[in-house]
Structure 1
Amino acid sequence: MAEHKLLTKDFGTEGVQTLAVYERLGGYQGLREAFRKFTPETLVEEVKASGLRGRGGAGFPTGMKWGFLPKDVFPRYLCCNADESEPGCFKDRELIDENPHQLIEGLLIAAYALQVNVAFIYIRGEYQDQRLLLERCVEEARAAGHIGNDIHGSGFTCDVIVHGGAGAYICGEETALIDSLEGYRGQPRLKPPFPAIKGLYGKPTVVNNVETLSNLPHIVQRGGAWFKAIGTEKSAGTRLFCCSGHINRPGTYEMAMGTPIRELLAEECGGVWKDRSLKAFQPGGGSMQVLLPEHLDLPLDMDAVMQAGSSLGAGAMVFMDETTCMVNVSMRLVDFYHHESCGKCAPCREGTYFESDLMHRLEAGECSLEELNTLADICDNMNGKCFCPLGDTATWFVMSAYKAFSDEFKAHCGAGRCPVRTVRAELVTA
């Protein structure tokens, strides 16, 4: 694995928060090589050949996404989505903290490929320290000639603007992000038209994730074929996984795609804590369907995990031990989506309210079996019927948990308390 560490190399105590250190370690050579070795069109083809897929959740092929921009329509825009708000996800924050110029260089490479003259980094409102760091690094890069007019004599001009959000989860959805950038309330837009056709200020726009862009300097310097050779046929390269929950070593780990999930848990995360057994885990963040111990031998491959009934999503692995109450976890996640619903469409606005109310009564043991049976109807009225994916994802975990742990859900009905937490308390005090 060591030779495949692209984004999380050990730089010791030096750190790469400053331009001087980043350049001493080879920083911005990828940008120079992009100008020297590629035209914008051939650079797009190189990224297509690399097999790089988006690291923000959907996993769409990056080069193909770039190829959707209509030819000869200008100006066009590039937005870096740093609005990292998925429960359990913190990799983008760490990439910015540890290597901000890597992101800026990747953003400029993408801007050159797309012939974008103004690129934005839209960063989560709660990431104030990271926003200030990026603003300082952008000014460093501008002063050094990496940003501005005729960059390195290439004839290419690009400015970079860092824009802070206001803490709305919905702005991680690309069209809501664009609305927020334009100064409007962050709400999703109807698609089509897609942002590639009509995005920021009504012009063609590409939105890419922090981790996606951070891969580009390495692809340019070593080649698309080199990147493609890492991982699997359909999931190339490495990927960062934010691991948390009931494990001995929580943290962010960079793994070659195709590595078994069991290896990530055992060797990187140190296994399940307190010598307990694994009950369930989420492979891609709070919105993803639950998987079971029997799925640990699945490879870290987007398609393989999808075939198992879940998704790698934003790369947030949340592990739960045998004492976990799946009703309680479901309730907390439903509460999150109820709070973060923008309210634009009725299925999500009303559905998350009814879903949250039902789950609270179920967790308290005050829900009847007949009422529990309405959960599937509530979720069915949301999934696939909302304006954007938020309403869909608000149903995915709870319904998958209900399916896998139906006896546990039913045991709460009329119990007057949470039976799982009662048993756990008895074990702890015994």
Structure 2
Amino acid sequence: MTLTTDNGDTAASGGADLSPEELLAPVLSAFWDEEKSWSLEVYRRHEGYEGLRKALAMAPDDLIAYVKDSGLRGRGGAGFPTGMKWQFIPQGDGKPHYLVVNADESEPGTCKDIPLLYANPHSLIEGIVIACHAIRSSHAFIYLRGEVVPVLRRLHEAVREAYEAGYLGKNALGEGLDLDLTVHAGAGAYICGEETALLDSLEGRRGQPRLRPPFPAVAGLYACPTVVNNVESIASVPAILNKGKDWFRSMGSEKSPGFTLYSLSGHVAGPGQYEGPLGITLRQLLDMSGGMRPGHRLKFWTPGGSSTPLLTDEHLDVPLDYEAVGAAGSMLGTKALQCFDETTCVVRAVTRWTEFYAHESCGKCTPCREGTYWLVQLMRDLEAGKGTHADLDKLADIADNINGKSFCALGDGAAAPIISSLHFFRAEYEQHIDEKGCPFDPARSTAWADTHTEVNA
């Protein structure tokens, strides 16, 4: 994995005339490459827990207002303002308040929270303590994907260090204000990345989305007011408190300020995590990572993982912030930039994604349960050259009947790559039908071999 880090504290927002060093804004990843970067000692050496000291000197309501004024938006996909989410927690209700951190990272192409937890877990723990002070919570939970055992062990060790140092446990939030942190390993299901399904799983039930309202802020974990935030969202809070909201707003755009982690993968020369300001472009990221693999060009890409509508090489200069990507017809999501070159069959790629969503559907609602099954059948036929032109209209119709009509966003994620690929690459679907097979199959086409000549020479 490529770690693109730098010792600079700040960086300007994206600009064509800036050097790679100026484009990047390493904050969370600033010392990932140091020895024992995950330890409390190294974290303190890099101003660790300084933001917490400043936060505990503020009243909870003032702290919420400060984070809200910073413009920090959720880094888990939807981009909802973090401070506003904290503000929804009712006060004076006499109930326990909970903070739940969603570390169930499972969106295809997304790889930011797991490296962050592995290399710098104390940034999350410090953010958790700050957030618990803000929402008046005495118990927080981290819901971690159970398969990542090395990360689980490292996180447990970081929590132990925090308890030992007094950042967690008795009087952690002040005299008489205790704070406990529980790390919970999930059983492995994509649907548990949806916040209410995560809460059901955390309570010991099958992970399925809940009917809303009531929303988690009113009746979440154990039917008590609950804030559910992404790992990167909470881990970004300490730097905002330590360096100031104006520093945070100096990066990114007006409506999408700050820094974020971009996961660059696929047919690129230098895949990895790139931490830069919101508003940087894919062209700039590719320029600093070595571009596409030698001899090939970009064909299509996803701005936020496979659940976001795909884009093409025409969108290389779209600023990677919530507004600009939305205006281009997609979503920034988790900033999982999967890049595919001209050797990739769009129909095949979308079929694999569709199979994933059909497998991961919890089956609670009919549009998603039945619709994803039929999408898979149609996509497999089209990929194999057994489909008809009428199947394309049927495919679009089924996707439309899932999109926006399922119980949670999983159905939208299944429909997005199909709708967008039909929009941009309908001719390629028709080619599969007319040629009765995949034109990218090396066993039946010379076109595939031609595209590989330069690389294989």
Instruction: Calculate the TM-score normalised by the size of structure 1.
Output: 0.97
Separation (CA, whole Å) in 2 of partners of 1:124 and 1:152: 28
Partner of 2:315: 295
Separation (CA, whole Å) in 1 of partners of 2:272 and 2:334: 15
* Secondary structure in structure 1 of the residue aligned to 2:218: coil
- Partner amino acid for 2:140? A
Cα deviation per residue 1:156-201 (whole Å; 9 max; x = unaligned)?
3210000000110000000000000000000000111110111000
Separation (CA, whole Å) in 2 of partners of 1:199 and 1:21: 35
Residue 229 of structure 1, CA deviation: 1.9
Percent identical among aligned pairs is: 51
Which of 107, 110, 118 is the equivalent residue of 1:97? 118
Residue 219 of structure 1, CA deviation: 0.8
- The answer to whether the Cα contact below 8 Å between 1:147 and 1:160 also exists between their aligned partners in 2 is yes
Partner of 1:358: 378
- Partner amino acid for 2:161? E
Residue 377 of structure 1, CA deviation: 1.2
- Partner amino acid for 1:241? Y
* Secondary structure in structure 1 of the residue aligned to 2:101: strand
Greater CA deviation, 93-102 or 19-28? Answer: 19-28
Separation (CA, whole Å) in 2 of partners of 1:244 and 1:21: 29
Separation (CA, whole Å) in 2 of partners of 1:176 and 1:84: 14
Partner of 1:34: 55
- 1:331 maps to 2:355: no
Separation (CA, whole Å) in 2 of partners of 1:13 and 1:117: 33
Separation (CA, whole Å) in 2 of partners of 1:153 and 1:305: 43
- 1:135 maps to 2:152: no
Residue 136 of structure 1, CA deviation: 1.4
Residue 275 of structure 1, CA deviation: 2.2
Partner of 1:424: 448
Separation (CA, whole Å) in 1 of partners of 2:173 and 2:179: 12
- The answer to whether the Cα contact below 8 Å between 1:49 and 1:228 also exists between their aligned partners in 2 is no
Partner of 2:197: 176
- 1:6 maps to 2:27: yes
Cα deviation per residue 1:200-221 (whole Å; 9 max; x = unaligned)?
0001100000100111110111
Cα deviation per residue 1:398-423 (whole Å; 9 max; x = unaligned)?
11011100100111115332113332
Separation (CA, whole Å) in 2 of partners of 1:312 and 1:280: 15
* Secondary structure in structure 2 of the residue aligned to 1:72: coil
Separation (CA, whole Å) in 2 of partners of 1:11 and 1:291: 31
Partner of 2:394: 374
- Partner amino acid for 1:391? G
- 1:340 maps to 2:364: no
Separation (CA, whole Å) in 2 of partners of 1:16 and 1:328: 40
Residue 135 of structure 1, CA deviation: 1.2
* Secondary structure in structure 2 of the residue aligned to 1:119: strand
Residue 154 of structure 1, CA deviation: 4.7
* Secondary structure in structure 1 of the residue aligned to 2:252: coil
Cα deviation per residue 1:95-134 (whole Å; 9 max; x = unaligned)?
0011011111111111111111000000012112111111
- 1:51 maps to 2:71: yes
- Partner amino acid for 2:318? L
- The answer to whether the Cα contact below 8 Å between 1:51 and 1:234 also exists between their aligned partners in 2 is yes
Cα deviation per residue 1:265-299 (whole Å; 9 max; x = unaligned)?
211x2111122111111111011111111111111
Residue 262 of structure 1, CA deviation: 1.2
Separation (CA, whole Å) in 2 of partners of 1:15 and 1:41: 36
Partner of 2:185: 164
Separation (CA, whole Å) in 1 of partners of 2:451 and 2:96: 64
- The answer to whether the Cα contact below 8 Å between 1:260 and 1:300 also exists between their aligned partners in 2 is yes
Separation (CA, whole Å) in 2 of partners of 1:136 and 1:12: 19
- The answer to whether the Cα contact below 8 Å between 1:46 and 1:223 also exists between their aligned partners in 2 is no
Partner of 2:143: 122
Residue 14 of structure 1, CA deviation: 2.2
Residue 12 of structure 1, CA deviation: 4.5
- 1:286 maps to 2:306: yes
- 1:212 maps to 2:233: yes
Greater CA deviation, 3-12 or 88-97? Answer: 3-12
* Secondary structure in structure 1 of the residue aligned to 2:143: strand
Residue 313 of structure 1, CA deviation: 0.3
- Partner amino acid for 1:41? D
- Partner amino acid for 2:325? V
- 1:19 maps to 2:40: yes
Which of 253, 266, 270 is the equivalent residue of 1:245? 266
- Structure 2 unaligned blocks of 5 or more: 1-5, 11-24
Separation (CA, whole Å) in 2 of partners of 1:259 and 1:426: 34
- The answer to whether the Cα contact below 8 Å between 1:367 and 1:414 also exists between their aligned partners in 2 is no
Matches within 5 A, 1:144-155: 144-151=165-172, 153-155=174-176
Separation (CA, whole Å) in 2 of partners of 1:111 and 1:65: 13
- Structure 1 unaligned blocks of 5 or more: none
Which of 383, 386, 400 is the equivalent residue of 2:403? 383
- Partner amino acid for 1:275? G
Residue 27 of structure 1, CA deviation: 1.6
Residue 324 of structure 1, CA deviation: 1.2
Greater CA deviation, 152-161 or 214-223? Answer: 152-161
Separation (CA, whole Å) in 1 of partners of 2:129 and 2:295: 47
Residue 143 of structure 1, CA deviation: 1.2
- The answer to whether the Cα contact below 8 Å between 2:71 and 2:81 also exists between their aligned partners in 1 is yes
Which of 243, 248, 251 is the equivalent residue of 1:230? 251
Greater CA deviation, 407-416 or 322-331? Answer: 407-416
- The answer to whether the Cα contact below 8 Å between 2:32 and 2:119 also exists between their aligned partners in 1 is no
When the two structures are aligned, how many residues end up with a matched partner?
428
Greater CA deviation, 305-314 or 125-134? Answer: 125-134
Residue 371 of structure 1, CA deviation: 2.1
Which of 104, 113, 117 is the equivalent residue of 2:134? 113
Which of 337, 357, 372 is the equivalent residue of 1:317? 337
Cα deviation per residue 1:364-419 (whole Å; 9 max; x = unaligned)?
11111122221011111111111111011100011101110010011111533211
Separation (CA, whole Å) in 2 of partners of 1:290 and 1:318: 9
Separation (CA, whole Å) in 2 of partners of 1:426 and 1:364: 21
Separation (CA, whole Å) in 2 of partners of 1:152 and 1:106: 13
Partner of 2:18: none
